[in-house]
């Protein structure tokens, strides 16, 4: 990577609070420090940074690792929008999180909301595979809602008064 590009990286890092790590070979690595101590690592063949817009574009064999959220993703391209705190992955995107998998043409990750928005390529669909727990967690109050108040099946039936006319024998 040329000297000018390195200066651009360092200038952007100072502007938006990023940590840049240069690796040997053709790969660049970027560590994005969020407001908390968590880090997101973005690796790719090529990365470009724009200090005016605060946008970092990564192309070729993109890999994202966000251990705090247990997110691992791959794509052909990724853009990190530092002002909006979002990452847009495009081109054969695969996101893995805690055994769940999301596949789409474009996936936007909203960092502050911990939310994914996925879009499919034309004439295709987004695919999501979720690992469902076998038993709901015991501390989840919505997993086992309290029983609905209603009639008690073991209670005695109410007394019924028979008000039908009584047939009396004729005198």
Decide: 64 and 71 in contact? Cβ < 8 Å: yes
CA atoms within 13 A on the CB side of 111: 24
Residue 161 belongs to a domain: no
Structure tokens at 22: 């240069």
Tell me, yes or no, whether 24 lies in a domain: yes
What 3-state class would DSSP assign to 67?
Answer: helix
What is the rounded CA–CA span in Å between residue 106 and residue 65? Answer: 17
- What's the number of domains the chain is made of? 1
DSSP symbol at 163:
-
Helix (H, G, I), strand (E, B) or coil at 135: coil
Compare 66 and 137 and report the one with higher pLDDT: 66
Is 44 among the domain residues?
yes
Beta-strand runs (E) in 23-99: 28-33, 39-44, 46-50, 55-66, 71-81, 86-97
Could you give the CA distance from residue 41 to residue 30 in angstroms, rounded to a whole number? Answer: 6
pLDDT by residue (tens digit) across 119-157? 999 999 999 999 988 876 666 655 556 665 655 555 555
The domain that contains 43 carries what CATH number?
2.60.450.10
What angle is formed at CA 117 by the lines to CA 113 and CA 121, rounded to 5 degrees? 165
Q: Picking from 9-18, 68-77, 92-101, 102-111, which range would have the lowest pLDDT averaged per residue?
A: 9-18
**Domain limits for position 125:** 3-129
pTM of the model as a whole = 0.61
In this structure, is residue 167 part of a structural domain? Answer: no
Task: Report the C-alpha gap between 127 and 45 in whole angstroms.
Answer: 26
- Token pair 């695969």 is found at 94
Residue 18 above 90 pLDDT? no
Is 31 within a domain?
yes
pLDDT for residue 16: 45
- Give the separation between CA 150 and CA 79, rounded to whole angstroms: 55
Name which of 25, 99, 22, 108 is nearest 64 in CA terms: 108
pLDDT band at 35 (very low <50, low <70, confident <90, very high): very low
């Amino acid at each position: 990577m040329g000297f000018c590009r390195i200066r651009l990286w360092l200038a952007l890092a100072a502007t938006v609070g990023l940590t840049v790590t240069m690796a040997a070979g053709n790969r660049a690595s970027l560590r994005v420090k969020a407001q908390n101590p968590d880090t997101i690592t973005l690796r790719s063949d090529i990365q470009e940074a724009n200090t005016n817009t605060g946008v970092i574009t990564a192309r070729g064999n993109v890999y994202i690792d966000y251990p705090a959220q247990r997110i691992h993703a791959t794509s052909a391209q990724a853009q990190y929008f530092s002002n909006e705190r979002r990452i847009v992955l495009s081109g054969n995107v695969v996101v893995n999180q805690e055994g769940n998998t999301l596949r789409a043409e474009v996936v936007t990750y909203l960092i502050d909301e911990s939310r994914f928005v996925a879009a499919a390529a034309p004439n295709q669909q987004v695919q999501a595979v979720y690992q469902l727990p076998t038993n709901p967690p015991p501390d989840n109050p919505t997993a086992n809602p309290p029983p609905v108040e209603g009639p008690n099946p073991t209670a005695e039936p109410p007394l019924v008064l028979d008000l039908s006319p009584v047939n009396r024998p004729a005198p």
